[in-house]
Amino acid sequence: MEIYILLGFVLLLSIFLGLELISKVPSTLHTPLMSGANAISGIALVGALMLSAEGQIQNVLAFFAILFASINVFGGYLVTNRMLSMFKKKS
């Protein structure tokens, strides 16, 4: 139980940190920010890798969890990078 209180604490602080960090973003960057944040949500990959693999169902679930999270991670970062490389100030 204690660990959940501690982790709940981390959760709340992170949300407040996130709200503070991104309260003033120029609208130019709304899409890259959203897409970059979307890539970060691929952190579920770490969770997927931690799953146990006792039975057949677990193995199938783990495979698909890793697969979907990987698509999210690779696709998310690449497309954000592609988008950001287009944003430039012309001289």
Distance (Å) of CA 80 to CA 1, 34, 39, 86: 39, 9, 8, 10
Query: Could you tell me the two tokens for 88?
Result: 């430039």
Does 4 sit near another protein (CB under 8 A)?
yes
How many Å apart are CA 78 and CA 84, to the nearest integer? Answer: 10
Does 5 sit near another protein (CB under 8 A)?
no
CB of 22 to another protein, least distance (A): 5
What sign has the CA pseudo-torsion 11, 14, 20, 22?
negative
Does 2 sit near another protein (CB under 8 A)?
no
Site string for another protein, 19-38 (x = CB under 8 A): x-xxxxxxxxxxxxxxxxxx
CB of 9 to another protein, least distance (A): 10
Does 8 sit near another protein (CB under 8 A)?
yes
CB of 42 to another protein, least distance (A): 6
